[in-house]
Amino acid sequence: MNNHDLPRWATAFVMPVLNLLSALLVAALVIYMLGESPAESLGILINSAVVNPEGLSYTLFYASTFIFTGLAVSIAMQAGLFNIGAEGQMYFGGLGLTLAMLAFDSSLPWWLLLPVGMLGAALFGALWSFLPGYLQAKRGSHIVVTTIMFNFISASLMNFVIVKYLVPAGEQNPASRAFADAAAMPLLNQWLPVLGETPLNISFFIAIIALVIYGVVTTRSAWGFKLRATGLNQHAAHYAGIRISKMIITVMLISGALAGLGSVNAIMGSTHYLSLNFVNGAGFVGIAIALMGRQHPLGIFLSSVLFGALIQGGFDLSLEKPNIPIETFIFIQGLIILFCGAMENFYAPAIARLLKRKG
Amino acid sequence: MTFDDLHIASILVSTVRNAPVLIFAAMAGLFAERSGVIDIGLEGKILASAFVSAAVAFATKNPWYGVAAGMLVSVALATLQGYVAITQKGNQLVAGIAVNIAMSGLTFVVAQYFFQQGGRTPDLGSARLFDVVLPGSDAVENIPFLGWFYAHLIGGHSVLVYLAFLLVPVVHWVIYHSRFGLRLRACGENPHAADAAGISVERQRYLAMLIAGVLCSFSGAYLAIVQSGFFLRDMSAGAGYLALTAMVFGNWRPFHTFLGCLMFGFFGAVQIQIEGVELPVIGRIPGSLIQMVPYVVTVVVLAGLMAKSVAPKALGTPFVKSR
């Protein structure tokens, strides 16, 4: 659809908001059909995720993870690659992080453990995205299908690795041993006691730094220009001298590394051990965030906070309203992907008509 | 019959029983993609129709009502994908993923709402589709090989299994020997030429999505009403993607795609058979590793054969009528 005629404020602000509202409207309809009041549910959600300081802290805690998975999907999308595999890449990143912690948590101080953990997470995340990237670049295997397969494979493989090698002797719980206290991320509640016993930690600031770096690299560097050129028109980019296959592999490695870094907040910030299925859909949330935020750093940030609020508020909502289980938010995620991604130009003709009539 | 023969026999029988889920979905994908629309949303359609089929079959105690209801839902989802791909000219991959994720959540929520069994439907019991016993099965039962071949490999399956296997030559005929199929392929290869020849590309693609919706619903119904006898959360477990891969493996051709489906059905059967078996040299393979088999095979197939494959040329590109 043709939306070049629309002013920037319309495409960058009005349309995303309308799309999001449409998705939420459909969700409200479903909640109504489940016999619950959408308005009351929204009230509970906002109260528990934004108004209450502890709730807000949890919202930002979830957002810190989502920023990384959102960035992972976004940077691949900039190159025209649809990386569905952030889920598996973050899961694998968690393994890299855990191996680093198990090896060093008794010998290094926290300010060294953090970079070591991040390195392990990024490395393993990148490792898990390398093959899909390589196969797309060299063999033309569709990245969407291979990354989905790698999600399934990582689920089984991690199950095997955790149960067989990481569960401490005598334990039943399918999880690694807990890390030493030195491996815990500094929590923000030591400076802001109002946050209570919540896991919001300095990962939030690391995530924001990552957003800034992403914004600068994609819009202000030569490499970022090549990246976007590849995404806009591969043939033209190739003609301009960009090595497409190298670009695909590189961007997939970065994407996997970013997804892997999502595990730093989830593990070092909260549980302090690697557990089965700790990712719990954060990778898929990243897809919705990338589409909703239109791969723009500010958009990714706002979408991540929104999803953090949906998850945090959703937990409380599911306790109060048994008919609205937390899985409802997986459905809402799908709706957001549909309205903000697949039908992103749904309102373009209407807005264009409206503007024409006015002008 | 030795112990080993028994294994091969049951692997073959379960291959035949595993394949229909993939065959229906792959044939659905074939129609969509031959018309130029990528259908990555097979997974979501299978899941949705599996749930609705199971729920309606349970409520009405009639499996056929279940099949019909599953069809309605699957067609609705396919139409939505068609609307995005054809009318909105939006991103077809994103639409498919949206359908998959949304259905993964919604089927659980609705199943929980109606049945409160953790996203599962109750056992269908008598509302399952029963197996067809071929005439004279009892008479040949005791004849070595032939008895097994007639009564268990060819006979003794649900009607949907036969429908799946019969579907393949029908699809072949429709795609290659009917006027509809010729137009369908034209839209997938060169929609502008098709348009110039007076074919409505949009109408043709909507029709293809409609057929894809109908065919895909059988996949879900088979999974829930025949294979399992209940609906379980995320029970499709990647079947939609395996079907898609079988189609890529088969170069978008019905018979080759069918072979791909049989291959995946076979690996699925082997996977169940070797679980817990002490193998020579490697010993017992843990279940979690065996679960990976179909997905690893998919990646290997995509890596090895995609480069040679010839997708419909206009696949994934929205058709914009030139002025």
pLDDT reading at A141 higher than 80: yes
Domain ranges of chain B: 3-121+137-308
pLDDT reading at B51 higher than 90: yes
Determine the pLDDT at residue B245.
86
Percent of chain A with pLDDT over 70: 99
Mean pLDDT of B32-57: 93
Residue B119 has a CB neighbour count (10 Å cut-off) of: 20
Computed over every residue of chain B, the mean pLDDT equals 86
Contact A142 B91 (CB under 8 A): no
Determine the pLDDT at residue A249.
96
- The minimum CA-CA distance between B208 and chain A, rounded to whole Å, is 19
pLDDT reading at B273 higher than 80: no
* Closest C-alpha among B226, B216, B269 to residue B18: B269
Contact A135 B101 (CB under 8 A): no
Mean pLDDT of B151-158: 75
pLDDT confidence tier of residue A347, bands split at 50, 70 and 90:
confident
Query: Any chain B CB within 8 A of the CB of A141?
Result: yes
CA distance to A24, A160, A336, A350, B170, per residue, from A339 (Å):
10, 38, 5, 15, 36
Q: Could you read off the pLDDT of A206-254 as tens digits, one per residue?
A: 999 999 999 999 999 999 999 999 999 889 999 999 999 999 999 999 9
Contact A333 B241 (CB under 8 A): no
**Least confident segment among A179-193, B10-24, B70-84, B119-133:** B119-133
pLDDT reading at B199 higher than 80: yes
* Prediction pTM value: 0.89
Instruction: Tell which wins on pLDDT, A346 or B306.
Output: A346
**Which residues of chain A neighbour B303 with C-beta distances below 8 Å?**
135, 139, 141, 146
Out of 3.30.70, 3.40.50, 2.60.40, 1.10.3470, which CATH number does the structure's domain B3-121+137-308 have?
1.10.3470
Contact A331 B112 (CB under 8 A): no
**Which residues of chain B neighbour A324 with C-beta distances below 8 Å?**
109
* Closest C-alpha among A159, A184, A151 to residue A69: A151
Query: Any chain B CB within 8 A of the CB of A33?
Result: no
Residue of B nearest to A341 (CA): B94
Query: Any chain A CB within 8 A of the CB of B112?
Result: yes
pLDDT confidence tier of residue B2, bands split at 50, 70 and 90:
very low
Mean pLDDT of A171-197: 86
Determine the pLDDT at residue A323.
87
Computed over every residue of chain A, the mean pLDDT equals 91
Percent of chain A with pLDDT over 90: 65
* Closest C-alpha among A140, A300, A235, A338 to residue B91: A338
pLDDT reading at A59 higher than 50: yes
Mean pLDDT of A349-357: 85
Mean pLDDT of B216-241: 91
Query: Any chain B CB within 8 A of the CB of A139?
Result: yes
**Which residues of chain A neighbour B101 with C-beta distances below 8 Å?**
284, 287-288, 330, 333-334, 337
Q: If one looks up domain A16-24+36-184+200-351 in CATH, what number appears?
A: 1.10.3470
**Which residues of chain B neighbour A287 with C-beta distances below 8 Å?**
97, 101
- The minimum CA-CA distance between A331 and chain B, rounded to whole Å, is 4
